[in-house]
Structure 1
Amino acid sequence: MSDTSTGAWAFTDDRGTGLTAARRPERVLAYVRAGAALLDLGVRPVAVYGSGHDGELLDPVKAGALAAAGVPYLGPGRTLTHARVAEAGEVDLVVDVTYDGKSPYALDEALAEGLAAPLVALSVGNELTLPAIVARFGELAGSLGAADAATGRVADAEAALRAAAGRGGLRVLALSGAGPEQVHLARPQAWPELARLAELGVRLLDPGPGPGANWLTTDWEYAVGLAPDLVLFDSRANAVPPHTVPPGARLTPWNPETPPSPPAVARFFQDLTAALEDPAA
C-alpha cells in the first residue's frame, strides 16, 4: 500500500517480508511471468528477465503483452549483472515469484540488494488458490498506483468453462514433453490453475503415485495408457512438443506460467472451453 499523505510505500510479500520505500516505486524490474501480469494490471515494467529455463530471447508463450508493449527482455535472471540491468535504466523495485514461500524463483536476492531496490516475491505455488494468487498480484499493482482490475471477465469465462466441462465430460491430461523417451505428467493439485479447472468440473487425470511433487516423469507409453480425450501440452520454448499423441486425443497448448492476471486467466479458460467444445470431439 502507499501512504498518500507522505508518498511512502509499504508492501508485505508472500515470504512475509515487509518492504518499504520512501516513495511509491515507479520503475519495476520483473520476472517475465510477474511482469506480464503487472502489465495486464496497468503497471508497465521497465524490463523483464527469465528463469533458468529461458534463453537469451524472450519466450513468446510466456511473454503475454510484454513484447507488443516494447518491454525489454534482459535474459535469464541468474545471469544478470548490475551492468546489464543498468541498460534498462534505474530500478526501484524488483518483482519475482516464489514457489516455496521462502526464496525468489528466478533472481538472486544479492542482485536486488546491489540495486538498492526492494524485492517482492509473490507466491504462485499450490499453497494459494488461483483466485488468491491473482488477487495478490492485483494488490501489488494497486499499491503501485494501478486501478482495480475488472474480474467480471474471469467470472464469465469460468461459467462458460463449467458448462462446457459438464456437457462433454472429456478426460484431460496436462503434460510437458521432454523428448522421445520421457514426458512429465502434471499432478493437478500441484498447479493452482489446474486445481481451479478441477473445481470447475474439468475431468483432469492424475498420473498416479511415484516420485515428483509437481510432475510424474515417465514414458509416453504410460501417458497413452491413461487414455485422455484432450491433452494440454506445455507450449513454452523449453518444453518439447508431444512425441506421441494418445489415440483419439486432441491437443491444445498450455502455458504452465500463465500470467496471474484477470485477462490472462480469462483467456486460458476461454481457450480451454473452445477445446472442450470442439465439434471434432
Structure 2
Amino acid sequence: MTEQSAWSFADDRGRLAVADRRPSRVLAYAQAGATLWDYGIRPEGIFGSGHDGAEPDRAKTGTLPLDSVDYRGAGDDLDVDTLLRGRPDLVVAVSYGHGQLYGLDPDTAKHLEESVPVVVIDVGQVRTLDRVAERFAELARSLGGAPVADAADELHAARERLRAAVRTAPGSPRVLALSPAGQEKAYAARPQMWPELRVLAELGVALVSPPDGAGVNWATVDWEAAAALEPDVVLADIRSNAVPLDEVAAPAWEPARRHARTVPWNPEPLCSPQAHARFLVLVADALEEAGG
C-alpha cells in the first residue's frame, strides 16, 4: 500500500472505515493511542474517559510523547468541536461490547462519525488479550506501523519467566487484583472478567477471587474483607481514579500491607507485546520475592 492508495479497515463492530488515503492524523482514546505509539504510530491527539480529568492519566498513556500529542480532555469537556480541533482524519476508539465508543457520549459519538472515519476495537471481557493485541497490530500495520524488533521474543521470554516463577515459588502465592476506592472500601477484581488476568491464570498464577455477589467485574469489599483474602501479591490499580494503595491507612489492611508485594496494574492495559511483557515480568518478580 502506498501513501496515495485508498485505505480501509473493518473494525470490531463490523463497520468499514474508509479514506481516500492512509490516515496520518489519528485521534485516539488514550489506551488505544498509547498502544499504537508502541507500533510507531504517533497520534495527533488523545482523549480520556469519564474517570479522567483535565490532565492525561499517565497509567494509560505509556510512553506517548505528551509534549507533542494533544490531550483533548475527558468527560463533559468532550464535544465534537473539541475532538476535531486537531483536524484528525481518523478516530480510534475502544468498546466494552455493543459497539459503544467508550468515554464518549453516544450523541457526541454519532456526530463525530458523521465528520471523520472511526475505528472501534473491542477490548471487553469476551475477548482474549491476544485477540485484542492482534487487532491493534492489524490496525497499526494498515496505518504504516510495525512492531518493535524482538518484541514478540520479549513477550515469549516474559511468559516463560512467569511460568518458571510459578513453578518455583513455594506455597502457590495468592495474587489479588485490587482497585482502592478510599479508606473504607476497595474494588476486588473478578479475575475471569479481565483478559489480562485470564492470561495470568493460564500461565499458572493463583489468582484470588472475591466472594460471589453484586458486581460483574468488581466486588466491593471493605479492607477487612480484602485482607481476609490473604494476598501474597497485590495487583494495585494505578489509574488516576484509584486511590494509591500506599495511601490506604485502614488498620484492618495493615497486616496484608506489611506482608504482600505490590505490583502496579493498569486495568486498561496497553496491548502491545512489549507493554504486556513488562507487566508479566513485574508479576514474575513479585512471585519470586513472595516465595523467597
Question: TM-score with structure 2 length normalisation?
Answer: 0.89
Q: Aligned runs of 1:53-68 on 2, under 5 Å?
A: 53-67=51-65
Looking at structure 2, the residues matched to 68 and 92 of structure 1 have their Cα atoms a distance apart, in angstroms, of 20
Q: Which residue is equivalent to 1:96?
A: 93
Query: Following TM superposition, by how much is the alpha carbon of 1:112 offset from its aligned partner in structure 2, in angstroms?
Result: 1.9
Whether the 8 Å CA contact 1:175–1:232 is kept in 2: the answer is yes
3-state secondary structure, aligned to 2:27: strand
In structure 2, distance between residues paired with 1:93 and 1:77: 20
Shift of 1:144: 0.6
Counterpart Cα distance in 2 of 1:62 and 1:100: 20
Task: Confirm or deny: 8 A CA contact 1:45 1:71 kept in the other structure.
Answer: yes
Does the 8 A contact of 2:261 with 2:290 survive in 1? no
8 Å contact from structure 1 (residues 74, 80) kept in 2 = yes
1:195 partnered with 2:198: yes
Q: How far is the alpha carbon of 1:166 from its aligned partner?
A: 1.7
Match of 2:8 in 1: 10
Q: Distance in 2 between matches of 1:68 and 1:75?
A: 13
The equivalent position to 2:39 in structure 1, one of 38, 41, 45, is 41
User: How many residues are paired up?
Assistant: 277
User: Which consecutive residues of structure 2, in runs of 5 or more, have no partner in the other structure?
Assistant: none
Q: Does 1:270 align with 2:281?
A: yes
Q: C-alpha distance in 1, partners of 2:210/2:79?
A: 40
Name the CA shift for 1:225/1:206 in 2 (closer, same or farther; >3 Å).
Answer: same
**Counterpart of 2:210?**
207
Aligned to 1:153: 154
2:76 and 2:33 map into 1 onto residues whose CA distance is: 17
Give, in whole Å, the separation in 2 of the partners of 1:90 and 1:68: 18
Q: How far off its partner does 1:215 sit?
A: 0.4
Tell me the alpha carbon deviations over residues 246-280 of structure 1, each in whole angstroms, 9 at most, x when there is no partner.
26222221111121111111111111111112278
- Please tell me whether the aligned partners of residues 180 and 244 of structure 2 are also in contact (alpha carbons under 8 angstroms): yes
Percentage of identical aligned residues: 48
**In the alignment, what sits opposite 2:267?**
256
Q: Which residue of 1 aligns with 2:242?
A: 239
* Correspondence 1:186 to 2:189: yes
1:76 and 2:74 correspond: yes
Specify whether residues 253 and 65 from structure 1 end up closer, same or farther in structure 2 by C-alpha distance, changes over 3 A only: same
CA contact (8 A) 1:78 1:106 kept: no
RMSD value, Cα: 1.9
Of the structure 1 ranges 199-208 and 61-70, higher mean CA displacement relative to structure 2 is found in 61-70
**Cα 1:275–1:112 shift into 2, 3 Å:** same
Q: Deviations over 1:179-233 (max 9, x none)?
A: 1221100011100000000001111011121111110112111111111111111
Asked if structure 1 preserves the Cα contact closer than 8 Å seen for 2:3 and 2:21, the reply is no
Cα distance in 2 for residues equivalent to 1:5 and 1:216: 49
Q: TM-score, normalised by structure 1?
A: 0.92
Give the direction of change, closer, same or farther, for the CA distance of 1:279–1:196 in structure 2 (3 Å limit).
closer
1:253/1:68 CA distance change after superposition, 3 Å: same
Once residues 22 and 248 of structure 1 are traced to their aligned partners in structure 2, the CA distance between those partners, rounded to angstroms, is: 58
Q: Are residues 238 and 191 of structure 1, via their aligned partners in 2, closer, same or farther at CA, if it must alter by over 3 Å?
A: same
SS of corresponding position for 1:16 = coil
Q: Is the 8 A contact 2:173 2:290 kept in 1?
A: no
Post-superposition CA distance 1:106-160 (Å, at most 9, x none): 124134225x211111011121111111111000001111124541211111110
User: Partner residue of 1:219?
Assistant: 222
| Of 6, 23, 30, the match for 1:32 | 30
Contact preservation (8 Å) 1:183, 1:219: yes
Instruction: Note closer, same or farther for the CA distance 1:140–1:15 as it changes in structure 2 (3 Å cut).
Output: same
| Contact 1:14 1:101 survives alignment (8 Å) | no
